[in-house]
Structure formats: structure tokens, C-alpha cells
Structure 1
Amino acid sequence: MQERSFPKNFIWGAASSSFQIEGTVPGDGRGPSIWDDFCAQPGRIRDGSNGLVACDHYRLWPRDVELLSELGARAYRFSMAWPRIFPEGRGRSNAIGLDFYKRLIDSLLEKNITPWVTLYHWDLPFALERKGGWRNRNTAFAFADYAAYCVAQLGDRVKHWITHNEPWCVAVLGHRLGEHAPGLQNPRAALETAHHVLLSHGLAMQRIRELAPDATAGITLNLNPAYPATPGKPEDEAAAHLFDGDFNRWYLDPLFRACYPEDMIQHHENQGALGPRGWDFIQQGDLKTIAQPNDFLGVNYYSRTVLGERSAAEKAAQKDPLHYTAMDWEIHPEGLQDLFVRLARDYPVKAWYITENGAAYADQLTADRQIHDAHRLRYLALHLDQVAQVCARGIPLKGYFAWSILDNFEWAHGYEKRFGLVYVDYASQERIPKASFHWLKEVIAANKVFDVL
């Protein structure tokens, strides 16, 4: 790895999400979300925890803004909690909840940190779940109303909007595999959810264009490049293509081509995922609505997936923190460049942003209250090296948001997994910047990545 520079106006930032850090659940008029309900179900969260306090960001946000400023972040990607704004999902708004975000945004702007607001990062108001949640087409229109309200109230302050974070997780983890809220295991529900989330994106984009024509807006997808374990082996190649269709193309194609991939339509039908009602949830005009022009696409990249039988050496490496993170995700930085080359070829857009990239490790607090997270630092360095190479190719990759600014509630893993640049002592809520924080601060200041290996 060599020292590499980034474009002059490259945007450096960090990211978070509302349910993972805010806490104050319930409080100040916030309604319950599907994750509050999910956490209350025994056995759903590995450590039995919940988001009632999380990082107490709702109260401690001034300290967190100071940390972002200390890092040198030029942008902060955070999400608004839909049930904090509309406790019932729609109808009556909650002024106290909106005021929280106004104070946060104003403080960011005072520090010359640009707010990038994600409107939905998985915390659906539970009142809407009782009416069918994302399986109910009406939820797409409720989301568009929520988005329009936020843009109308905050559009003078916020110029960068992301409609959704990772529709694949909402659909597949939440509705097919049951690992995330609302915890369903229903293939048809997953397909309905994916479609209605994408439809809500298109509807929201229309409202954003009407209310804030000077704003930039898009969506964030988690994309995972698929590789055959043995290149050229027909069954491995076929498995990789199928995975790519389910994980990546099922979301990219409707957004940028106004269609679902034909091979995956056939696959779902062959699997009997639809039942007797078929594709009746896709109505005329939906795909045109979904394919609204995007100013950018946010990409969350963490790892790759290899399909087929791996070698004994590769299997042995799965316990090595140089090759796998604490999430058991393979460290494969080259996949990031492979992904963007493919995206630029097949789905050209005006701009790309890496809206999440990071790694979980079992960070240990030393006696002198330091965190020497060398593995995370190495992970970031390797991936930023690839980011710089993507930029050098002329691909319009405009910015990078590290995940995450804080250790936080990691969904079904509870507080067992730490992704943060800043260590959070959950008992005291003390924030302690890690070695990776200080290293990334130097990278941002120099606008170049350093060899740390």
C-alpha cells in the first residue's frame, strides 16, 4: 500500500442512525417503533438489551458534535426517527421531536459540518406496523408525507437527503429471515416490503423535488459483490449470479432501469415465494415512480460473498482478525474497487458516496483508558486505499462516511459489537476516541491515506 491522495473537494464524514444512538425511548412525545417491540420479545436481541438509552445521544448530542468537529468531519450522516416526528406514523406531528433535530442541525452548521439526513433507518412507527407495516402499500404514501414534512420544516438548513438506508435489510432480514424487526419469515412479505420501500423512495423523491429543488437527494443501498469460489466452475458461477440478483440487482435495476431483473422474477416464481396472488402488489406506473432520477447513490460496503466450497486455508482464516471482523465478515478491500467499476459500467449516476464503511472488533479499554484498535485502523486504511484508487479511475466517487462515529446498539447483536471510532462506556456514557479516530483525523486533514501496515 502506498500513500494516495483524494480529490480536492472530497467529502469526509462519519455516520450514525437514530435508534442505535439516541435513547430517550419513550420520551418527549416519541412513539414506539418496530424495534422497541422487537427488543421486548425474548430471545430477539443476543444480549437481551434494547435501545431505551443506547448512547443517550438525545441528551448528549453537544458532546457528539464536538467529537465530529475534532475529527475534522466535513459532513455528518444521521437519521431522523420517524416515530419521534410522527408518533402514530402520520397525522399529528411532535414539535418537541422536530426541535431536537433543529438544535442538532444548527449546531452542526455552526461547526461547518454539513448535515446529511437519512429519513428512514429501520425504525418504522409501530402504529403503522399494526396496519401491516411495509407489506401495506399505504405505508409508502405515509413515508412520502413524512419526508415532505421533514423537508418543508428543515429544507432551509438541510440540502442533502437520503430517503432509505439499505432496503435489502428491511426486506430480507426483517421479513424473510426474521433476524431484524418486525421478525417475519415470509418470502412474499419480503418481496412486498422491498417493492413498497422502493415505491416510497420514488414518491418521496417527487416531494423533495417539489419542496426543495436546490437540494440533492438519493438513496443508500448495501451492496455486496459476489464471487464464485472456483472461477469458471458452472455451479459456483450460477450461485454467484443468483446471489447478485437477490442482493444487488433486485434493488439497482428498479431504481436505475425501471424494471426488476427477469432472471430473479423467474427465480421467485419457481421458489413459490409469491403464492396465488402473484405480483399483484406491483401496480401500473410503480416502476416509473421508483426510477426517479437520483442526484447520487449512497453505497454501504463492508465485505464480499463467496459462493461455493472454499479451500481449507480460506476456512482456517475465518478466525483470524486480519481476515475477518468480529461480525465474521471477510475483510476484502479489493471488492470495493471491483464493485464501483461494475456500478460505473452498469448503473451510471452523477455521483457516488460511500455512506458506510467500517469494522467491528472486540475493543479493550486499557488501564490508562485508551483503545488501541489496530485491526480497525488497518481495515480503514486498506479500504481508503481502494477508495483513492476508484477516484483515480475517474469514477465520480465524491465522499466517504465512516461507520460509525460511536459504538452503539448493533441491532440484533445488542451492545456486543463495537463499530465506533469513539468508544462508549455504556455505564457512564463516557466517550473515548480510539486510535482509529486519531488516525482518520490525520487522513482527513491531509486528504490522503497513509501506509500503516
Structure 2
Amino acid sequence: MVKYKFPDGFWWGSAASGPQTEGRVKGDGKADNIWDHWYKKEPEKFFNQVGPQNTSKVYQSYKEDVQLMKKSGHNTFRTSIQWSRLIPNSDGKVNSEAVKFYDDYFNELLENGIEPFVNLFHFDMPMRLQEMGGWLNRETVEAYVHYAETCFELFGDRVKKWFTHNEPIVPVEGGYLYQFHYPSEVNMKHAVQVGFNELLASAKVIQKYHETNLDGEIGIILNLTPSYPRDENSPADVKAAKIADAFFNRSFLDPSVKGTFPKELVEIVTELNMLPEMEEGDLTLIEENTVDLLGINYYQPRRVKAKESAKNNEMAPMPDDYFDDYEKPGRKMNPYRGWEIYEKGIYDILANIRKNYGNIQCFISENGMGVEGEERFTDENGKVQDDYRIDFIKDHLRYVHQAIQEGTNCLGYHMWTCMDNWSWLNAYKNRYGFIAIDLDNNAARTIKKSGEWFKTVSDNNGFED
């Protein structure tokens, strides 16, 4: 039996987001974000036509949820404030119902020994701002800074861990390259501008937070997908993997931690004549306002080979013009999500952060396994027997432990997600939670076997295997 012991004070918990969990109730004062709008416009795009208005009903059930978090071993929990809930209108006025909800929610967590980690933006652009261009419009950057300052003022006395964005590459990919987020465009020039404006907004908010007298920390959450070349001895494959890494990892990692942009990406964007519009001082501001803390979301690797397929001239330019994806023979798969399971990837990310990013303090902010039709694993007592999820977490935690033993400054592990929640176009197709949600029974909650196991991990600050 090998005991994997983690450092004292390790953050055990999970992550979620406001738009994926809260839902809407009459009189809550929330305005539409892009997901509310898209669902009203094209409900057929959403799995089983389940939209964001119901989700997991956390708005009504947060007190019960916090008790379930305690029972499943949480000492920390990440969620997000919904911009469209807190500041619903263009007048900039705060919604008092939203303030009451978030005050009560955060207080409930703290009173039960669970520290709230709060993210400011989780893919939920207010529709009133999207109609003016969303992240394409520099005015959105200034509106975001006002929103963030409002959050700090209202909740900063209790919330000590803030994050500017969750996975900022996803609105770039989904909204402006691959059409799985609204506005569902294919426009590389817009993608570049959106990415730059997100980074500018992040740096401005970090600057504002550091100017306050609050004693917390502010960071960013990035989904890092290690890019592995098909053949490490092939210069063409290695170059392709390096370019993929620059597009999908270093595009946000380098400026967020180092204050600089990867030269490979700058060269490509320059050659395409697609440098973003910026103002004097923007690059200096990004350089001088880097993160205190890095959240790392890891689900799968990216395997890359030199470009062999024909370029799609109708869609070009695209990142895919510079590499092809590669399917490694014999890879382990999550068949429900269509993603490769490669546990060592989490170690490789942490080792890279230690060696090449100043060993900045970091934590695993998401890691998880989505399973479709999970109710078929429910036993006679109504509990989901998700041993596969326990094995998944164990297999990743072993590598997290190894990275820590080698000196990586990793402070915690959050699974995606606390309870089964709504996931954009996929709605409730794949279940990820420690806690099951019964949509046919008023979103009733039941802790899964994995949640009970996670409590023992948290209590013991580690596990035996």
C-alpha cells in the first residue's frame, strides 16, 4: 500500500460556474447573457433542448448544496459571479437581488469551513454588450473593469481568491473559429482581437485589484492541453506541436504569467496581417500586471503531426493550417466525451510550470470525467456507483503528487464539478459531478460514491492505494 500524502492546507474541492448552475427565478433581476439569447433563438442546438434557465437551481438550493459540499470533503469551492445578474443594465447599476444572493452564498460557504474562489467571467457575456460586439469592442473591456471593481467592493472583504477569466481561449475558439459558442463565427481576425481584448481586460482588472487594500490574490484559470508531436525525432512534427502549443496554450499562459506573447504566434499573426488593434501603453500594462496565482484545467492532451491534409481554403486562415491532429494508436479513451485519457499530461503541465514559468503558485482548477447515461450505474439505494471516476481522480492525483514531490508549487486539486450541471450546447448529456442531479425530480441531489470517497481523501489529506 502506497500512501499519497499532500501538503498541509491543500485545497480539496471542485469547480462550477454561475451560468451553469444558478438558473433563473421570477424577480431575480438577471438579464440575458449570450446563452440565454442563443437558447431562445435556436433551442434545437442544445442537447434535449435543455436551456440555461433551469440548470441545477443553485439560486434556490445553495444552502443544501453547501451541506453536500461538506459531506463530500470540500474545504474550497470555485464558482463565478454572473455579470448579467449583478449589473443587468447599461446604466451600470447593481441588482440588489444579486447582491443578496451572492452575499448569502459566500457567507454560507465560509460559515461551513469552505473558502470561496470566485471567477469573474465564465463564457457568459451579457447580451447587451454582445450586441455591441462583445470582446471585439474595447468598450466591453472598460465595462468589465467596472464590473470587476464592483465585485471587489461588494465581496472582497470575504473573497480572497479571485480569477479574471476561466479558459479565455474558449470564447476565441468557440465563438470565432469553431462555432460552438455564440456568435458562432469563423473569423481569424476577430479571434485574434477577442483574445487580445480578454488579456487586456485581465491585466486592467489585476492592476485595479492590486491597487485596493484587500489582502487576497488574483489569478486566471487556463485550460492547458499539452501538445505532443507524433514523432519527437521529426523536426516537422516538433515544429507543428510547438505552433499548436503557441495557439492554444501559450497564447494566454505567456502573457498572464510572463507578461509577453509567444514569438511563434506573433510571427504568424503578423504574416497574416492580423495584428490586433491596440492603444499605446497596452503592451506595457499587460507586461506589468501578471497573475498572482494560476489555475490549471486539464482534461486531455493534444497530439499533433506536421500538416498533411489539404488546407480548407473556404475557412482559412485557421490554426489548423499549421498542423494536423494525430490519433495515437492504443490511446485510452473516455468514449462518452470522445477525449483521450492521459494522466501523465497533468504532471507534464506542472513540470513545465515549475521549469519555465518561475514555479508560480498554481493549483489544478479543473479535472474530470464526463459520462453519458450515468444513471444506469445507480444501485438499489439510489446511489451512483461511479468507481470509474474514483479511478480517474486517483490516476491523476498520483501524478500531481509526484510533481509536488519534485518541487512544483501546486496548492490544490478541484474536480469539475461539484454536482452534475448544465454544460452549454451539451446541456446535461455528460455528467461530471460528485453529486447527482435528478432533473425529473425537481433537481434532487444525491452524493455519488466518488463524493463519499473524496471526503476520505480530504479528511486524510491524501489516499492509500
Superposition TM-score tier, normalisation by shorter sequence: over 0.9
The question of whether the paired residues in 2 share the 8 Å contact of 1:325 and 1:360 is answered with no
Total equivalences in the alignment: 440
The question of whether the paired residues in 1 share the 8 Å contact of 2:354 and 2:360 is answered with no
**Offset at 1:392?**
0.7
Instruction: Name the aligned partner's letter for residue 435 of structure 1.
Output: K
What's the counterpart of residue 449 of structure 2?
A: 435
Q: 1:97-246, aligned counterparts within 5 Å? A: 97-246=98-247
Of 287, 292, 296 in structure 2, the residue corresponding to residue 295 of structure 1 is 292
Instruction: Name the aligned partner's letter for residue 62 of structure 1.
Output: K
Residue 306 (str. 1) matches residue 303 (str. 2):
yes
**Offset at 1:310?**
5.4
What's the counterpart of residue 461 of structure 2?
A: 447
Q: 1:85-96, aligned counterparts within 5 Å? A: 85-88=86-89, 91-96=92-97
1: distance between equivalents of 2:183 and 2:4? 43
Of 418, 422, 439 in structure 2, the residue corresponding to residue 405 of structure 1 is 418
Q: Secondary structure at the match of 2:220?
A: strand
TM-score, normalising length from structure 2?
Answer: 0.91
1: distance between equivalents of 2:276 and 2:345? 37
**Offset at 1:211?**
2.4
2: distance between equivalents of 1:348 and 1:280? 28
Instruction: Name the aligned partner's letter for residue 219 of structure 2.
Output: G
2: distance between equivalents of 1:357 and 1:104? 24
1: distance between equivalents of 2:47 and 2:110? 38
What's the counterpart of residue 18 of structure 2?
A: 18
Distance 1:391 1:283, change over 3 A: same
Instruction: Name the aligned partner's letter for residue 178 of structure 1.
Output: Q
Gaps of 5+ in 1: none
**Offset at 1:395?**
1.0
Instruction: Name the aligned partner's letter for residue 303 of structure 1.
Output: Q
Q: Deviations over 1:251-277 (max 9, x none)?
A: 12222333322221222344x4x5xxx
**Which moved further from structure 2: 126-135 or 280-289?**
280-289
What's the counterpart of residue 6 of structure 2?
A: 6
Instruction: Name the aligned partner's letter for residue 384 of structure 1.
Output: L
**Offset at 1:313?**
4.0
Instruction: Name the aligned partner's letter for residue 279 of structure 2.
Output: Q
Q: Deviations over 1:121-169 (max 9, x none)?
A: 1111100001110000111111111000011011111111111101100
Of 344, 354, 367 in structure 2, the residue corresponding to residue 334 of structure 1 is 344
**Offset at 1:44?**
2.9
1: distance between equivalents of 2:26 and 2:226? 39
Q: Deviations over 1:5-33 (max 9, x none)?
A: 10112111211101111101674110100
The question of whether the paired residues in 1 share the 8 Å contact of 2:353 and 2:360 is answered with no
2: distance between equivalents of 1:89 and 1:408? 29
Q: Secondary structure at the match of 1:381?
A: helix
Q: Deviations over 1:404-439 (max 9, x none)?
A: 001011112111011111110012111111111111
Instruction: Name the aligned partner's letter for residue 19 of structure 1.
Output: P
Q: Deviations over 1:354-390 (max 9, x none)?
A: 1111110131233431211121111111011111111
1: distance between equivalents of 2:327 and 2:217? 45
Instruction: Name the aligned partner's letter for residue 414 of structure 2.
Output: F
**Offset at 1:330?**
0.9
Residue 396 (str. 1) matches residue 409 (str. 2):
yes
The question of whether the paired residues in 1 share the 8 Å contact of 2:359 and 2:408 is answered with no
The question of whether the paired residues in 2 share the 8 Å contact of 1:361 and 1:417 is answered with yes
Q: Deviations over 1:34-81 (max 9, x none)?
A: 111122232432332211110111001111111111122111111010
Seq. identity, %: 32
2: distance between equivalents of 1:293 and 1:235? 33
2: distance between equivalents of 1:123 and 1:115? 20
Q: Secondary structure at the match of 1:400?
A: strand
Distance 1:2 1:227, change over 3 A: farther
Of 352, 356, 364 in structure 1, the residue corresponding to residue 366 of structure 2 is 356
2: distance between equivalents of 1:230 and 1:356? 29
Residue 418 (str. 1) matches residue 431 (str. 2):
yes
TM-score, normalising length from structure 1?
Answer: 0.93
**Which moved further from structure 2: 205-214 or 241-250?**
205-214
**Which moved further from structure 2: 231-240 or 189-198?**
231-240
The question of whether the paired residues in 2 share the 8 Å contact of 1:76 and 1:116 is answered with yes
Distance 1:171 1:26, change over 3 A: farther
The question of whether the paired residues in 1 share the 8 Å contact of 2:72 and 2:434 is answered with no
Instruction: Name the aligned partner's letter for residue 290 of structure 1.
Output: I
